[in-house]
Each structure stands twice: as C-alpha cells, then as structure tokens.
Structure 1
Amino acid sequence: MGTVYDCSDREQMLAGMRAARQTLARGEVVVAPTDTVYGVAADAFSPAAVKKLLATKGRSRQQPPPVLVGSTDALRALVEQVPEEVERLVERFWPGGLTIVLPAQPSLTWDLGETKGTVAVRQPDNAIMLELLAETGPLAVSSANLTGRPAAIDAASAVAMLGDSVSVFLDDGPVATGVASTIIDATGLAGRGERTVRVLRDGAVSRAELREVLGELLEADPGEDPPQ
C-alpha cells in the first residue's frame, strides 16, 4: 500500500511533493489531483514509466495517456504547431477541463503508445498538480482508476483501486468538478485533413462553449445538420 500525503498540511504536502518527484524520477507512477479527477502520473519522456502507467490502469498501448503541462510554452514545445484557433481555445479554457489533440513535435523522443503521431495536451487548474508540473516538466497522466471503473474523485477512491501498485498518493481533498475533461481533435487545424474540430469526449467544457470560440469549425452536434 502506498503512502498518502495530506496536502492540506504544509509539512505533509512538502514531504509528498518531494516523494512524488523522487518517485517519478525513478520511472514509477504517482497519484495526484487535478481539477477534473485524480490522475495517475508518469514521466512523459520515459517509455518504461508510461508502460507502467498503462499497466497500473490495465490499459493497452492503443489507449495512450494525455500529457499534462504547466504552461502554454510547454504546449508549444510538445506539438508541431499551435494554430491560431487553438491559441484562442487555450486563452479561454486553460488552465481547465479541455484536452486538445494536435500533431506531436516530430523531434521528441518519447513513446506514449499508439498515438499516430499526435499528442493530447491539457493544462489542469489545480495548484498541487501545477506545482508538480513546474518541478518535473510534462507528465503523462490518466484518470486514477482501473479500466472500466469510475474515475477517482478523491484520494481514498484512488487508494482503494490502485493502492498496491502506486507508492505515492497526494491527497488534496475532493476534486473541484468530478467531471472528466472534454477532449477535442484539432489536428485538422494543423493541416491534417479537413479544417474541422471534432469532439472525441464530452466533458467539463460544453460544445456550446467550444462553438463560441470555434464557430462553424466545430463539428455539428449529434443530431444537428452540418453547417452549409
């Protein structure tokens, strides 16, 4: 069973952050809070660590994890380009519950799984996770649950599901929303196919909010006629 660090206590928080950094540097995984759900985190640039993350959740390489970043500068370092429309999405919804899929920077040496040359990126709105990202750099993070089980919205739920396979749990209390991030495919804006943004998963950011920024670039809602 891993150690749970209560981040409402400053001394425990500092000890937990130190333990998390050391654990991630060894290529192991930690559980940490985000604004949406708790996540299992690993060094995004360590293939062995990402493999351990997938194994911890019971997922295959066909389900690659998204990457969390602490800043928009980190986004630009990870993707091939940031289209102007994506800049506007980031300005509106980051930090927050929007994950954006773009073509990955081809010069990066990493292995997140079968990504087909893309990466899903998000900047979370949680102080503990943002501080961890500032110290570690980008992290591969997937919801803290076993595949097929509900995502953990507090540390106790994550411990119940993953306690034997994770050594560090950062407990920041119940998450702010408990609603997973919305995932959009914006690769079309970067020159990969039709200039349309597709919603891959509905979540914290609504389609109506996305349409306020993207207009007709956003795919038609289910049951709605496509724009003419």
Structure 2
Amino acid sequence: MSNVSTRFDVSEESGREASLAAARDALAEKRCIVLPTDTVYGIGADAFSPQAVAMLLAAKGRSRTMPPPVLISQSATMDGLARDIPEAARALAEEFWPGALTLILHAQPSLTWDLGETKGTVALRVPDDAVALELLRHTGPLAVSSANRSGQPAAITVDEAREQLGDSVDVYLDGGARGLHPDAAPSSIVDATGERLRLVRAGALSLEQLREVVPDLLDLGEEPETAGA
C-alpha cells in the first residue's frame, strides 16, 4: 500500500465489507490500522509480526518497555495465548467479556511473537464492538493500543486519532464517536499473574464492579493481609 492513509466509514453495514478488507490487507502487509473499540479508538497491528508491532510502538512514540495489549474475538482464544489462568480471572472474563476489561496473564512460552519487554506476560481483551470483533474473527489476535501519541489523551473519534498518528497508519476505520461522553474511559486492567488478582488501572469498570465477581481483588498499591507471628 502507499504511505498515504485512507479513511473508511464503517458506521453503516453498507460498504463495511470492503472497508474491513482494506484493513485486513494493510495488516497482512505488516502495516498499522486504526479501529473503533467499545472504549476508545485503537491502533492495531499483527500481533505475530515483530515488524508490525515495532511500527505500532513507533507511531505512538512508545518504547518496548510498554508492550501493547492483544485483542481477541472470543474468550476461548485465551487458553491458546496464556497459561496458568486463575479461576478468578476466568470468572472476570465470563462476566465482563466482551467488554472493557483487560487481563494480564502468563503468556504461553511457545508463542512466536515479540510484543516488547513483556516479562513473559500478555494483556488480553475481548472488545464489545461489532466492527472490531468482525475484523478479529478474520485476522486472529491483534496487538492494539489506544490510538494516540504516548502521553496524549486517548482518541474518541477517528479525527482525533488521525491528528495524532497521521500517515504512520495506513487505514482508518471510522465507526463514529466512542463512549457516552468526552471523557470516555479506557478498559480497566487486572493483573492475574500474582497470588491474588490486582487492579492496576481503573477504567470503564470500577473496583466495586470487579469485586462483585472477585471479592478479594486487590486495588493498586493495596497489600494482601499476612498472618501474624
């Protein structure tokens, strides 16, 4: 593809197939796209292409120390990408997927990908967005981070994403404004790699909502109680 980005309207079903085909072509060529999700707009790349992931990080101005999450189309894919998944994490996925929950899990050691300095983990999410899910069903797992330059506000419209990312992205899929208000929240992130699950970023789902499913979920900075001597 050329280095000039193309914008497609996917807010209506008519013409969506051709738009998604253009996005799939860009991804197959190890290029980046911008896609709508249920939270904010995301910049996406082939999760299994180190070249594509490197382009994603460069577009955002982000280093390898901040690897992107991976979007999947269904919770069943989780076991192919992660190992030693706690039952509490599965309970959260069952309750909130598709939705605004990202789970940090131990990655399968056999995976042939390079998302950056992940320390053997992977952050997974199933988005609650018809366009994103349709794309993911065709492409498989995608590395997706918020469509903004590092340190800048997340994009809730495709115009905001394009202003920040420009021609570093080949295809922009315009699905309309994201969220219900200007301060649309990103997904909440739960780390499920320790002895107890911990909320590491409060987002669209509150600590209270998550604790309805996992009552002993730790908050950021909260230490687990230890038995006395």
TM-score normalised by the chain length of structure 2: 0.91
Contact 1:220 1:227 in 2 (8 A): no
Q: Shift of the alpha carbon at 1:17?
A: 0.3
Structure 1: which 4+ aligned runs deviate by more than 4 Å? 224-228
1:150 aligns with 2:153: yes
What is the match of residue 191 of structure 1? none
| Equivalent position of 1:75 in the other structure | 78
* Equivalence for 2:59: 56
Task: Give 2:124's match in structure 1, choosing from 121, 128, 149.
Answer: 121
8 Å CA contact retained: 1:207, 1:221: no
Out of 129, 147, 166, which is 1:163 matched to?
Answer: 166
CA RMSD of aligned residues (A): 1.6
**CA distance in 2: counterparts of 1:52 and 1:203, whole angstroms:** 26
Shift, 1:78, TM fit: 0.3
2:187 maps to 1:184: no
Structure 1 residues not aligned, in runs of 5+: 189-194
SS of the aligned residue for 2:167 comes to coil
State how far apart, in whole Å, the 1-side matches of 2:219 and 2:167 are. Answer: 44
> 2:201, 2:220 within 8 Å by CA — same for their partners in 1?
no
What is the number of residues matched between the two proteins? Answer: 220
Deviation at 1:199, TM superposition (A): 1.4
Deviation at 1:198, TM superposition (A): 1.5
| Aligned position for 1:15 | 18
Displacement, 1:176? 3.1
One-letter amino acid of the structure 2 residue matched with residue 211 of structure 1: R
Deviations 1:121-160 (A, max 9, x none): 0000000000000000000000000111100001111111
State percent identity of aligned pairs.
54
Q: Which has the higher helix share?
A: 1
Aligned to 1:192: none
- Report the AA paired with residue 6 of structure 1: D
Q: Given that residues 101 and 189 in structure 2 are in contact (C-alpha distance below 8 angstroms), is that contact kept between their aligned partners in structure 1?
A: yes
Unaligned runs of 5+ in 2: none
Distance 1:148 1:110 in 2: 26
Cα pair distance change 1:227/1:43, threshold 3 Å = same
Residues 144 and 225 of structure 1: CA distance in aligned 2, closer, same or farther (over 3 Å): closer
Q: Give the 3 Å change call, closer, same or farther, for CA 225–170 of structure 1 in structure 2.
A: closer
